[in-house]
Structure formats: structure tokens, C-alpha cells
Structure 1
Amino acid sequence: MTTLFLSHPSGLEHDTGAGHPERADRLRIIEQMVEHERFQNLHRALAPGADTPALLRVHPEEYVRAIENAAPKEGLVRVDGDTIMSPGTWTALMHTIGGASAAVNEVMRGNAANAFVAMRPCGHHAERATPMGFCFFNTAAIAARHAQAVHGAERVAIVDFDVHHGNGTQDIFWDDPSVLYCSTHQMPLFPGTGAVGEVGEHNTIVNAPLSPGDGSEAFRAAMETRVLPRVDAFAPDLIVISAGFDAHRLDPLASINLEAVDFAWITEKLMGLAAKHSKGRIVSVLEGGYDLEGLAASSAAHLLMLMSA
């Protein structure tokens, strides 16, 4: 089995306007990166269109229709202060969700060792019925629910190492004992959630905030003392990674000082837990990462480690 890499050209058609950090160049740099010979054994495939039932397991139909209707025929529209839609956004969203569902299918069926979905828009700030923070639909949450509904996964762990807290994922699974949500993130920083005391109704929310200026040592300590032991104890049937690379030291939207090797390190640790509890099954979905050099190096390190399975 190999690592599955899912992407689609529609991800480039989600236009956020000049100067917006969440731009199409983010996908272009990842696509260029995987052309290198070291990725020659990577199994690449096009992300299919959305699995509508998968989308509706997380988001109400009225909300989904509202987002679809908000997409402009031309120009750009803002659904909040920094979350922008263009004529290509809806199609990109459909292939992002479809890619996540397809990744879960292939991994849960044993056709791929693990998978990385390189699509945009990102998702972890999207709550059940609220878009925000560049996000419309919560890709990681949709992947988790799809694994449960279609493949019988009883417990899914979502590990989010994006530098911003995944308020949307936390909101969706706040009162659900079958999904463990763990996050490292900078505080204070957008969106303002993610305090240690936010644990959910069933103690299945694990927040490990980092301070501005923290680097590898603090990140690894947070993972080793708070996150990894909880994932181990939860013994998930699948691990979903919200793979944001904006904790890299070059990223302009935060001030955590990680290097690419740190993303390889946490990927390896999660692969060890997946091997122990979930037959190695990991589905990783792209979240943030806004410096192109940092994004390329970090996503390469993440993907190469996944390919070592």
C-alpha cells in the first residue's frame, strides 16, 4: 500500500482577491513540490465531487444551501470579514469535501496506507452553521463522520496542529463522546478559543495552547504531555489530521517558530499510534500555512513521513 495524494484543479479557482493570505499559490507550491522525484511512489488521484450525504452529516441543509446561494456569478463576495467567495469557490468546496470522503474510503477499505488531501478552502474554523476564518465547511469533521457512518468507525481522533485553534471542530464535537478533538495552537490569537479548560461535555476536547515565540521544545512537550497520551488512551479506529503548517517560523499570521522537521516528528508520532490502534489508518487534510517556502517544506516533510508507512 502507498500514500494517497488527492487534489483537484478546482482548488485553484477559489479566488480570494489580491493580497489575501489564503491564495491559490498555496496549492500551486504543493503541486510543484510533489513533482520532485522523491515523491515518485506517491499515488496521486483527482479528488471527486462532493458526497452530499457526507456534507449533511455535519452541516444543516439550510446552511449548505445558503453557502451555495452566496456564491457570486462574477466578482467576489464576503461572507464575513475575511472569508471570501468567488465564482469558483463552490466547485472547489465540493471537490474538497469529495476528496476527504474519498480519502476515508480508500484508507478504511485498506486500499491506501494513509492519505493527504491537498485542497482548499480549509475547514477547521467552520462551525455547524457559521463560516469564518477562510472556512465554509469543516473538512476534518466531515471525514470523521463519514468514517463513522459508512465504515463503522466507533471512535475517531482529530489532531489539529494548525497554529490557529479549530473552533469549528471543537463546536461540532463538543458533546460527542465518540470523537476526540486535540489541538495545539497559539494563544492569544484568532479565533480566541482553545483554552485548557475547554474540555467538552465528555472530556473529549483537549487543548494545548502555545505562547507567542514558542518553538520546537514547547510544541513537542505539549504533544507528548497532553495530546499523544490522550489519543493513545482513546484508541481510535481512525486518526484525522487537520494539517495546518502556519506554526512554521516563516508564517506571517502567527509567531510560533516550528521547522519542517517538527511536522515530520508529530506525523511519525501519530503514525505510531495509528499503527497501534487503527491499522495505521490516517487521513490528513490541508488547513493553513501562508508562507509558501514554509508551506512547501513542512507539507513535504509531512507527506514524506506518511509515505514511510
Structure 2
Amino acid sequence: MTTRLYSHSIYLDHLTPAGHPERPDRLRAIERVLEDEAFQYLDRREAPEGDEAAILYAHPEQHRERVRQCIPHEGLARVDADTTASPMSWQAALTAIGAANAAVDDVFAGVADNVFVASRPPGHHAEKTTAMGFCFFNNAAIAARHAQRKHGAERVVIVDWDVHHGNGTQDIFWDDPSVLYCSTHQMPLYPGTGAKGETGVANNIVNAPLAANDGGAQFREAFQSRILTAIDAFRPDLVIVSAGFDAHHRDPLAELNLTEDDFDWATGKLMESAGKWSQNRLVSLLEGGYDLHGLAFSVAAHVRRLMKG
């Protein structure tokens, strides 16, 4: 089993205000934990810059240009109450897209069975026409459309276990039955979407909301009964994971109580689904996770499971 890792120093140059949870130290913590000898066979690559045209796979041109105009020449610029741009944010966002699409290319070419992309800014809150929730462009949505356009994938599943619902991904694929979007998340919580009754045009949206203080047992039950059964019925050609690790019990932005073992378990289950339907093709994209210890050790468990096959 070949597992590839994409990252890039440009992601550290996307700056946020002091005290902001989505900060460069998140990637430094991941880099440190992946230096362990357990990861010596991880195929590490520098993320390539993305093509600006790929943004249009999931967003209209007006959104792309509106984000571009938000990028300051110096200092920080506020995009919304939670989302900040700095001079290198455009480059970082473009390189996050480049890494996600390169990961898709890799699994379809068979040069890697699965790929983890350690990038920022994250993407799953970015709706078709709105940057929000620390996100400018929806990396997972762009990668799914890239798989369809370039590799002829007929059906793509995006599984999102970030503690916050991926309103952006749901918005983009609401009326697209060729993409199945499945999410576990805490509810009520930002951004307020993700009820079970939100199902898309063809039941292609599967939400499995969890309550504050739920832990591994409730997460695994929701995953098993709602998400894995939906994937089996859908039979995807590619599995994309919106891998946020803020459902960890240490995370300051939410109240779920997952552990590294839960992320390990969920990774294994999605690898089984990818083995069954997608010739092992699985691409995982970093989303949230704001306690540095919880994030680092959850990513380590996730990547270790990807490498085990």
C-alpha cells in the first residue's frame, strides 16, 4: 500500500490574527508528528501550484475574482467575521487546490493507493458564491469535479467527519446526484446546517448529526448505519475525505469526545469501502482541528492507518 503526503511551506504563509484557531502552527504540529520513524516510508511530495481555472469547477468566476480582490498587499484583510486573508493567502489557497487535484491524479494513475494532503486554508465551508468559516475555495468539491472531468469518474463520494458541517460542499452538490456527500458533525453548532432532513435532489446528501458530548460509540454507530450503507448503495469510483480533526475531545471549538482511535477506525472503514468500490482510490484533505496535540496525534493515527492498507 503506497501512501503519499502532499504539503508545502507556502501553507505557513497564509496568516491569521493572533489567537485565531486556524493558524500556521497547525501544520507545524503535523510536520513534527510525521517525523516519527513510523512514517519513514511515507511518500512525501511538495504540493504543486493549482490552476486558477480549476476554481471554476465548483465556483463561478465572480466568486474567484471577489476572493482575489480580498487579498491585501500587506497586513491582514477580513473576508468575513471568521475568515482572514494575508498577502500570500491566494498562493496558499491555489496550492491547496493543486495538491488536492494532484492527489486525485495520483490515485487514478495508480502511483499511490491513497494520499493525505496537509494543506491550509481549509475548504469545506466555502459555498458556491461565499467564502466563510476560514475557507476561500472548496478543495474537496474541486477535487471531485476534477476526478470527473479528467479521469471520467462517474460517481464520487465525499465523507466529511469535521465537527462542523460542510455547508459549502452540501451547497455545491445539492442538485448533483453524481456526488454523494456524507457528514458527521455536532449539531447545533456553526454553521447551523446539516439536519438529517437535508437530503439533496436525489438523496445524495446524507447528514448524521451528533449531539454535544457524544463520543466514539455514537460516532461509530452513525458512521456505520448511515454513511457506510449509503456508500455501498452508491458504489463510488473515488472516496474523498474532508478530514477535520476538531471532533477530538481536546478541541476548543466544539464538544464531541472522539479519540485518535475513532479516527483510525473511520479511516479503516473508508479504506474498506474504497477497496470494495474504488480500486482503493482514497484522497484525504485536511480541514479543521485546532488543539495542536489532538490534531497531531489524530493525523498520525489517520496516516498510519492509510499506510497499513
For residue 190 of structure 1, what is the amino acid of its counterpart? Y
Residue number in structure 2 paired with 1:238: 238
- Are 2:142 and 1:142 aligned? yes
Q: Distance in 2 between matches of 1:261 and 1:54?
A: 35
Cα root mean square deviation, aligned:
0.7
Q: Alignment partner of 1:206: what SS?
A: strand
Q: 1:256 matched to which residue of 2?
A: 256
Provide the rounded CA distance (Å) in 1 between the counterparts of 2:109 and 2:123.
Answer: 25
Give SS of 1:123's match.
coil
Runs of 5+ consecutive residues of structure 1 not aligned to the other structure: none
In the TM superposition, 1:1-309 aligns within 5 A as 1-309=1-309
Find the residue that maps to 2:242 and give its secondary structure: strand
Tell me the TM-score normalised to structure 2 length: 0.99
Q: Report the Cα distance in structure 2 between the residues aligned to 1:30 and 1:108, rounded to whole angstroms.
A: 26
Alpha-carbon distance in 2 for matches of 1:162, 1:130: 19
Of all paired residues, the percent bearing the same amino acid is 62
**Matched residue type, 1:298:** S
Q: Secondary structure at the match of 1:27?
A: helix
Q: Secondary structure at the match of 1:41?
A: coil
User: Structure 1: how far apart are the matches of 2:80 and 2:24?
Assistant: 19
Question: Partners in 1 of 2:242 and 2:76 — Cα distance?
Answer: 27
Q: Equivalent residue of 1:208, what SS? A: strand
Q: Deviations over 1:78-103 (max 9, x none)?
A: 11001000111111101100000100
Give the letter for the 2:92 counterpart. Answer: A
| Cα distance between partner residues in 2 of 1:60 and 1:84 | 21
Separation in 2, partners of 1:109, 1:238:
13
Moved more, 249-258 or 49-58: 49-58
Q: Offset of 1:51 from its aligned partner?
A: 2.2
Q: How many angstroms does 1:24 deviate by?
A: 0.2
Gaps of 5+ in 2: none
Displacement of 1:54: 2.1
Cα distance in 2 between the residues matched to 1:216 and 1:184: 12
The answer as to whether partners of 1:51 and 1:101 remain within 8 angstroms in 2 is no
So what's the TM-score if we normalise by structure 1? Answer: 0.99
Q: Match for 1:244: what amino acid? A: G
Q: CA deviation at 1:52?
A: 2.5
In structure 2, what is the Cα distance between the partners aligned to 1:224 and 1:34?
Answer: 29
Secondary structure of the equivalent of 1:44? strand
Which amino acid in the other structure matches residue 77 of structure 1?
Answer: A
CA–CA separation in structure 2 for the residues paired with 1:144 and 1:205: 15
Please give the alpha-carbon distance, in whole angstroms, between the structure 2 residues aligned to 1:39 and 1:54. 31
Give per-residue Cα distances to partners, 1:131-163, cap 9 Å, x unaligned: 010001001101100000000000000000000
